[in-house]
Amino acid sequence: MPLTSPKEMFDKAYQDGYAIGAFNVNNMEIIQGIMKAGEAEQSPLILQVSAGARKYAGQNYIMKLMEAALKESDLPVVLHLDHGQNFEICRDVISDGFTSVMIDGSHLPFEENIALTKQVVECAHGQGVWVEAELGRLAGVEDEVSSAENVFTDPDEAVEFVERTGCDSLAIAIGTSHGAYKFKGEPTLDFDRLEQISSRLPGYPLVLHGASSVLPEFIDMANRYGGQVSDAKGVPEDFLRRAAKSGVCKINIDTDIRLAMTAVIRKFFHEKPQEFDPRKYLGPAREAVQEMVQHKIKNVLGSSGKI
Ligand SMILES: O=C(CO)COP(=O)(O)O
Ligand SMILES: O=C[C@H](O)COP(=O)(O)O
Ligand SMILES: [Zn+2]
Ligand SMILES: [Zn+2]
């Protein structure tokens, strides 16, 4: 199946109150784990590539891995640029064949964010490519830049932003953040704000970044085998189910992939210190990614069988 645009995926998801998982890819094992999970669940998928992933794997490798994944699958798959920081990176990945880009002007003043987003929308729409933008700011680390504070999305500004830029979906800040340390105390999200935004933008797909749940199973395993990932806390799965029913069509997950792989590899190294064949630990790490992604699709996002 060739790469698809998010349009049809999001229309269906919005109608039925489920969400599509957008999973970050960095290497072969991650792509394979996600694709296998999607196959097993017959779920549409968004594979997303950050600037960091492009730098790590190399854009040519990413494209060839995608090509291989699509050759072996009939699933609808979107190839999406995660957190595009400027016009040039969006333009470059569009010419490589990405079907969706995020232009992240959330660090800019409102008018500058609008101007940058509009510039990307004009270029992308000319080629049938979807544009996600961001308004508000998430605390945490993204692309090696860390933001100390959340700046929640203002509902009035969200409406004006969408109207003036013509962006196709909007990432909003309602209390999630990137990484494994999302909450100091009890997790909370500003659902009132989400309802306000979604009711003022009816039918419009919203995006939730920083949506990993930081599964205790992997935190415990990592720590049991020498890790030091303490006080980690993610977004409770019930919050994600609720968000999916309130206009959130795309839920971004990266940290949970990282934790699953790391936990399994730590355990392996501890239990089999004499082994040195990377396939022996990257294989189980790939299986852990598959299982975790399958769990999300089936039990949290609700996208099983929605192809
Ligand atoms: O938002 C993300 C990628 O854009 C990932 O968020 P997590 O760090 O919660 O996985
Ligand atoms: O939003 C951030 C994603 O988790 C990507 O992270 P990265 O920039 O380290 O690849
Ligand atoms: Zn951002
Ligand atoms: Zn993000």
**Residue 209 assigned ligand-binding role:** yes
- How much distance in Å is there from the Cα of 224 to the middle of ligand 3? 33
Give catalytic residues, as residue numbers.
82
pLDDT of residue 147: 65
Cα-to-centroid distance, 270 and ligand 4 (Å):
32
- At 105, list the tokens: 């002007």
Q: CA-CA distance, 115 to 242, in Å (whole number)?
A: 33
Q: Is 50 in the pocket of ligand 2 (CB under 6 A)?
A: yes
* pLDDT for the residue 146: 59
> Mean pLDDT score of the chain, rounded to an integer?
96
Cα 291 to Cα 209: distance, rounded to the nearest angstrom: 21
Could you give all domains of the chain from N- to C-terminal order, each with its CATH number?
6-301 (3.20.20.70)
Closest atom of ligand 2 to CA, residue 142? 2
Nearest-CA residue for ligand 2 atom 4 is 254
**Interval between CA 152 and ligand 4 midpoint (Å):** 15
ipTM: 0.97
- Give residue 144's pLDDT: 53
Ligand 1 atom index nearest CA of 209: 1
The answer on whether 51 is annotated among ligand-binding residues is no
Q: List the chain residues with pLDDT less than 50.
A: none
Q: Specify the pLDDT at position 149.
A: 76
CA of 209, closest atom in ligand 2: 1
> Could you tell me which residues come within 8 angstroms of residue 12 by beta carbon, excluding any fewer than 6 positions away?
306
Q: Which ligand is nearest to the CA of 105?
A: 3
Contact present, 171 and 207 (Cβ < 8 Å): yes
**Spatial CA neighbour of 76 closest among 40, 46, 31, 36:** 46
Residue 49, H or E segment: strand 45-50
Ligand 3 centre from 66 Cα, in Å?
24
Characterize the bridge pairing of strands 140-142 and 145-147: antiparallel
Whether the CB-CB separation of 82 and 48 falls below 8 Å is answered with yes
- Residue 35: predicted pLDDT: 98
Protein residue closest via CA to atom 10 of ligand 2: 52
Task: Determine the residue of 24, 255, 259 to mutate for testing ligand 2's pocket, defined as the one with the most ligand atoms within 8 A of the Cβ atom.
Answer: 24
Segment 48-72, tens digit of pLDDT: 999 999 999 999 999 999 999 999 9
* Ligand with minimal distance to 254 CA: 1
Query: Which helix or strand (DSSP H or E) is residue 51 part of?
Result: helix 51-57
What is the pLDDT at residue 6? Answer: 95
